[in-house]
Every structure is written in C-alpha cells, then in structure tokens.
Amino acid sequence: MIKFLAGLILVLFTSSTFACTESESKLFLSKLQWVTEDYPPYNYLDESGHLVGAVPDILAMIYNELGIKKRGNNISVLPWARLIMYMERYPEYAAFSMVTTPERANKFRLVPLPITTRISILALTSNIDSLRDKTLGELTIAVVRGDIGQKLLSIQQNPAKQVETISAISMLEMLLRKRVDAIAYSEDVTYYQLQRLDVKKSAVTSLYLLKDDSDVNFVFHKYASNCVIELFTKELAALNRSGKLQPIWNKYIQD
C-alpha cells in the first residue's frame, strides 16, 4: 500500500557532530555503501543478475533528484544476517528494506517508505482447516533467521516451534514439501516468491495475522548525521507529494 508522507516527522534517535550543510550531506550520501537482500518485489536480482524492485528504483530517484551520482552496482545483495552485522558495525553502510520493530528503531535510524506490508503466519491452503483446529503451541513454523517474521513471533511470545532457514526460498520449499506447518513472513514477498517457484498464489493462505501495515524502511547507522537523515527524508516526502512514487509501486505490485 501507499501512504502519504506529507507532514512526516522523523524521530531523531541520536545527535552527531557531522557538518550540517547540504553539500556535506550529499557528499556523505554519495559515499555510502548500500546493502540489501533478496526481498521481492521490494528488492531482488532479476534473471540477468541486475538489482531491481520498488525500493532500489525509489533510491535511484532520490539520488537523481538530489544530483548525486550513484551506480546500481554499488549496492550489494547480502544474506539478511550479514546485512544486519554490517549495519551494526559500520557507519558508512546503509540498507533497505527493513520492516520496523521497536528493537530496530532503537538500533538504527529508520526512514519509512510510503509502503506498508502485512506480516502473517501462512500455511498451505489445503491444510488450513486442520491447522485452525490446532493451538499455536502445536505448530511448527519456518522463519528466515533474523527476519521480521521471527522477530514478531518473539515479540508476541508465540509458543510455536520455530525452524530457522537462511532464505525465503528455502523456507517456502519446506512449506511446500510439508516439512513445516506454516511460515512467518511478509504476505507480499511470499506471493512474489511463489511466482518464482511457479506456484500459484492461491496455494498459500494466511492463518494468523502478526502485524498489519508494517512500515518498510531505508536504514542508516545509528550515528548517521541528523542533517543527512533530514535531507534524505525531505526528498522522499517531496517525491511522494508530487505523485512520482506511485507509478514505481504500481510497476512491481499488482493486487
């Protein structure tokens, strides 16, 4: 979904001694090493190995509007756990796209996109009736290690047994092979990944909603300058007000 960013107020978690000028902020942004994961339709590698998706397109538009040269091959696609490690350790790194949790909001500087996603426990449609007769504690749920699905299960103290995987594809393959009862993941991303596996969207159904309308964010190191964050956020909001972001979202997401 698209939500309006007019009047967006960014809560600034840290202060910085970084120079508060537009030119210095642009220079800092030009030198950032961006990292992301395979998380379609937000960001993913196409058949030619090029990074595509709604979020890298939006990032490219922000840099273009700010007059900052940034090539797409400067963005590295990493496993989620390594991405988090880099973001925790290195101030020169920035990332996308990360769903908000209280822990992440305290650990990083989050700039929300005009995009929200639903995080759910999803199961095979053929099994949904029998699973609804079970308690959560009786379920075995596959998760991507460190992903928002696992985070929400922990926050909500969900008693289901968890099976960790390293990628969405491996998690979905476990579900399709009936090695687990369900998965905890973004609905949008689940349906897109099913297409990659040549499986119809209708094969999977939401069993329980974990969180509706979760923010999807650009992510900066916790010590990133307020000036950099304000410049980036202001340009994102301006692009949304001008209606330039909706066509990008429509390009990758079809209801």
- Report the pLDDT averaged over residues 79-83: 88
Q: Which of 11-15, 18-22, 86-90, 175-179 has the lowest mean pLDDT?
A: 11-15
pTM attached to this predicted model: 0.79
Rounded to whole angstroms, the Cα distance separating 218 from 94 reads 8
**What superfamily would CATH give domain 22-115+216-252?**
Periplasmic binding protein-like II (3.40.190.10)
Tell me if 22-115+216-252 shares its fold with 117-213: yes
Q: Please name the fold of domain 117-213.
A: D-Maltodextrin-Binding Protein; domain 2 (3.40.190)
- What is the mean predicted confidence (pLDDT) over 147-166? 95
The sign of the CA dihedral 208, 214, 216, 220 is negative
Please report the pLDDT score of residue 19 as a whole number.
46
135 vs 237: CA distance, rounded Å:
43
Asked if pLDDT for residue 85 goes beyond 90, the answer is: yes
Span 73-89, average pLDDT = 88
Name the residue among 25, 46, 22, 43 with its Cα closest to residue 34: 43
Q: What is the pLDDT of residue 94?
A: 97
pLDDT of residue 15: 39
Domain boundaries, the chain: 22-115+216-252, 117-213
Q: What percent of the chain has pLDDT over 90?
A: 73
Question: For 137-145, what is the mean pLDDT?
Answer: 96
pLDDT at position 150: 95
Which tens digit of pLDDT belongs to each residue from 48-66? 888 999 999 999 999 999 9
Q: Note the pLDDT of residue 247.
A: 93
Q: What is the pLDDT of residues 6-29, one digit of tens each?
A: 333 333 333 344 447 899 999 999
Q: Are 183 and 120 in contact (CB under 8 A)?
A: no
- DSSP letter assigned to residue 194: H
Q: How far apart are CA 156 and CA 121, in angstroms?
A: 13
Per the model's pLDDT, the better-predicted residue between 229 and 9 turns out to be 229
